Structure 1
């Protein structure tokens, strides 16, 4: 009897822990991430560039059918940010071009997929891919990064 209660308790704990993980966001808020990091650090800057590249690629995909021109502009911004990330990896981390490109593209793809996952969750919750989530806050931060000076 004690064994059954113990096993039931363990199963309950594991299933509730798994549910908590499944409902959590894939990415931490960019604001929270940056609050904990030194923005002067090249690694932080590379992550920021990759993250912003991913969110612009995500936004491009979301609006592609309704606004092809803006979608194209977002992809151009995304690629520009990714290129800056590659440049920084070459300069600061002394990576070869091909290696830096591959790493940046892999990072963007992972972050992009996280935005897709979290955007879908947000859509189910409030019928918006961005509003009411960390994604809209991330977009606001990234838009400041890309403003014309």
Structure 2
């Protein structure tokens, strides 16, 4: 599909690194990241689909999982609910993984984008919508569970 090549070109023009996952089953799947390596945003076109999915997966650091587990249940639920509301307000889909876990191992943020009529500006708007929602998740965890003064956070 010509649009596949265009999307890859648009991403490269931004100075982002592009990697094609070697075992990806989809006809189009690229993982993109700035030269620093983080955050990684994937762009995928499923087989026979007329849309792309822009997605970002965020692993919850073991220290943050421990901190969530040590919170009172009410506080933990409030933190996660506020995070969900903030992400949804950005106009993206999200999933806590595994779905029924009290404390997620990972959080996926995504947005489908129709291929028909897709231009560079619309693609970039949606790409950065997903990226910014993912960064909001990372920052929320980093700020809420910041380590004691003098210690370096893995995220901030």
TM-score (norm 2): 0.28
Q: Give the structure with the higher percent helix.
A: 1
Larger relative contact order, structure 1 or 2 (CA cutoff 8 Å, min sep 6): 1
Structure with greater Cα Rg: 1
Q: Give the structure with the higher percent strand.
A: 2
